[in-house]
Amino acid sequence: MKISVVTAVMNGGDALPRALDSLKSQTHPDIEHVVQDGGSTDGTLDYLRANGHRNMALLSTPDTGIYDAINKGISRATGDVVGLLHADDYLAAPDVLARVAEAMKNPDIDGVYGDLEYVARADHRQVIRYWKAGEYAVARLRRGWMPPHPTLYLRRTVFERAGLYDTSYRISGDYDGMLRWLTTGQIRLGYIPHVMVRMQIGGASNKSFAQMLRKSREDYRAIRRHKVGGMGTLLAKNLSKLPQFGARPPHV
């Protein structure tokens, strides 16, 4: 089973080496790394050319934002299964993609997801949030549930039949996409009960109050668009994050 891992990057800086190392350490033998660069000027391209994955497809071209870049990357992917690896994230263990491949042998599922850790930038051993996703049930969408997006791997056919990310969103295109795939697309997901990805805190959605406000507006738009609830769903989605700050990962 060929797994395509898409990385959309712009001036990846110091974060990219950790992401690449985690990908190159994977035990699964058939990996394609699709890198969609937005025109980096900080040495990212030189680093990728010198240190990239042995099966890397690198393209540098302008884009209109993160979701446009991701869409371009997915459109170039040739794997049976497609997932994302952002420059600020890294795979939590060498067997993450092997677990994905094993789970995707089940023909009755369209994708898989797992658990996620948010770690401090200064010390990756410090876990700030532990997101134990749990099993998917359609009723949970109304309570603000969603799969941790960085852990989501889908069959390439899902994008072909249910569409890519909506680029009219600037922050919540992932939430909108997942709601669309789960409702209109009727995809079936399997749950891998392990930490799959570690994410450095400080992403685009929480850099400022204005960004957090914009994210809430976009989240609400997606909730209403896909008819999974209203303001109560948005409130539940935000409140569900609070227990994650006190949760303890299984390896700690």
Mean pLDDT of 113-117: 97
Nearest by Cα to 116 from 155, 138, 147, 142 = 147
Instruction: Categorize the per-residue pLDDT at 246 as very low, low, confident or very high, splitting at 50, 70 and 90.
Output: confident
Report the relative pairing of strands 3-9 and 81-84 from DSSP bridges.
parallel
How much is the pLDDT for 15? Answer: 85
Rounded mean pLDDT, 166-179: 97
pLDDT at 251 over 70: no
137-152 in b/e burial notation, b at 16+ Cβ within 10 A?
Answer: eeebbeebbbbbbbbb
* Rounded mean pLDDT, 145-167: 97
Domains of the chain, each with CATH number or no CATH: 3-245 (3.90.550.10)
pLDDT digits (tens, 9 = 90+) for 208-242: 778 889 999 999 999 999 999 999 999 999 999 99
Q: Do 86 and 7 meet the contact criterion of CB atoms below 8 Å apart? A: yes
d(CA 52, CA 46): 10
Residue pointed to by tokens 């960085």:
150
Predicted TM-score of the model (pTM): 0.94
Dist. CA 187–CA 111, nearest whole Å: 8
- Angle at the Cα of 170 (from 168 to 171), degrees rounded to 5? 130
Q: Is the pLDDT of residue 134 over 90?
A: yes
Q: What is the pLDDT of residues 200-209, one digit of tens each?
A: 986 555 567 7
Question: Tens digits of per-residue pLDDT, 37-54?
Answer: 999 999 999 999 999 999
Tokens 């869409």 -> residue: 71
Q: According to the model, what pLDDT value does residue 193 have?
A: 97
